[in-house]
Amino acid sequence: MLNDVKIAGGAMTPFNRRKDGSSFRDWSRTAVSGALKDASLEPRDIDMLVVASESDFFTLQLNPAALLADECGLFGVAAQRAEGGGASGHVAFHAGVAALAGGMAKRVLVLGVEPSASHLKGADVGALYALSFDAWTDGMTGVDATSLYALSAQMFMQRTGAKHADFAQIAVRNRQNAGLNPYAHLPLDVSIDDVVSSTLVAAPYHRLDCSPLSDGAAALILARAKDLPQNGQTRASVKGLGNSTDRVRLGERSDPGYFAGKREASRRAFSMAGVEVTDIGLAEVYDSYSGAQLQALEALGLVEDVVAAERSGMFAADGAMPVNLSGGLLGQGAPVGATGVAQVIAAALQLEGRYWGLRPAKAARFALVDTHGGIATLNTVSILEAP
């Protein structure tokens, strides 16, 4: 059981494709200074930095934690980099909590950053992402992420009866949710017809079913209440963490359409938090593809029949379980290292009643955050509690 670990503050840059000449170092400074200001802390108050960045191929900077500590004025801090594919930001968050819980630090700054959009051509990024799976059997054959997600989605559809229209509804809703998020990459007002008529990438997925490549950074600060101004009374707490892997090769899973590793990560998080599924009032879920959101919600165990729940409107802002009010990856965007950090920030700010975007109809006491790397191969789940 975690006790008394607070999310003291958080900030993010816009997630988009940068065309202003700014660099990932600039975005990092912006996010870090924003998080410090939000937490009413100074750089000298931080004694540990955890940096999330998926790949040196994006930044072309090895040892980024030391560099970014230096560039962000966090001189002399303990520093490390955390990586878990698409879950890197969330893995870094867990590493920060673990450092606090283990007494290794008093105030940890978690920084996620990735220039996923502007540094390399899209095809090159796609080739790198393909190495997130078993590179020897998949990535080097040219088996790309979208194709693997598509195969998994097909198996999910066969088992559950989900239709592409269900996926398209998520693609629409998450983009609409992003409309009130000033940091979102794709706050689009699109229709199901727009999704269906967008370019077919890999059946069942069309272009608008896919999350974008984004640039950006996000940072948050973790500390125990006693080490924060006003004891962090207005800040959300970390209640439970869970992490679990699944078989890397999709074909080796007993059901390639089911995210079994995510189910275990969720079970572990709920067990640590000591709460029930019915206690969760909102969720930020890893929607790298529209159908993956439904697959995630199924595996997280938040509902019995995920397809029926989707069709009932349960996951809308005015539903019983609002999901991805930030817009998720589909709407807010996906600069990989920053993605999980931004998810945690969104959930924490929602619980604190000060989120900058779409709010749930009913205030939540507990929120769940879900991120994964590979195709739900490395799964990371956190449960937060309102102050």
Partner 1 sequence: MKQSITLDYTLPEGCLQPHFEALRRGEALASKCGACGHVAFPARVLCADCGSDALGWVTLPGTARVSCRTGGAEKGVALVRFDGADAMSTVALKNPEIAGETGKLSVPENSEAGLWLLLDTVTAKGDGNV
Nearer to partner 1 (CB atom), residue 1 or residue 136:
136
**Residue 226 CB burial class (10 angstroms; 0-12, 13-18, ≥19):** exposed
Instruction: Work out how close the CB of 352 gets to partner 1 at its nearest, in angstroms, rounded to a whole number.
Output: 41
**Nearest alpha-carbon partner for 310 in 204, 172, 176:** 172
Q: How many residues does the chain have?
A: 387
Q: Give the interface segment with partner 1, choosing from 159-167, 244-252, 282-290, 322-330 (CB under 8 A).
A: 244-252
Nearer to partner 1 (CB atom), residue 202 or residue 221:
202
- CB proximity list for 219: less than 8 A, separation 6 or greater: 10, 11, 12, 28, 31, 32, 34, 35, 109, 110, 111, 112, 341
Q: Does 122 bind partner 1 (CB under 8 A)?
A: no
Give 295's DSSP letter: H
Binding mask 250-289 for partner 1 (x = CB under 8 A): xxx---x---------------------------------
CB atoms within 10 A of CB 314: 18
Give SS3 for 53. coil
Both tokens assigned to 85: 């594919």
Binding mask 75-104 for partner 1 (x = CB under 8 A): ------------------------------
Instruction: Work out how close the CB of 361 gets to partner 1 at its nearest, in angstroms, rounded to a whole number.
Output: 37
Q: Does 147 bind partner 1 (CB under 8 A)?
A: yes
Q: Does 203 bind partner 1 (CB under 8 A)?
A: yes
CB atoms within 10 A of CB 385: 19
Q: Are strands 237-245 and 280-284 parallel, antiparallel or unpaired?
A: unpaired
Residues 29-58 that bind partner 1 (CB under 8 A): none
Residue with tokens 């220039």: 115
Q: Give the interface segment with partner 1, choosing from 79-87, 104-112, 200-208, 260-268 (CB under 8 A).
A: 200-208
Binding site for partner 1 (CB under 8 A): 60, 134-138, 140-144, 147-148, 150-151, 154-155, 158, 200, 202-203, 247, 249-252, 256
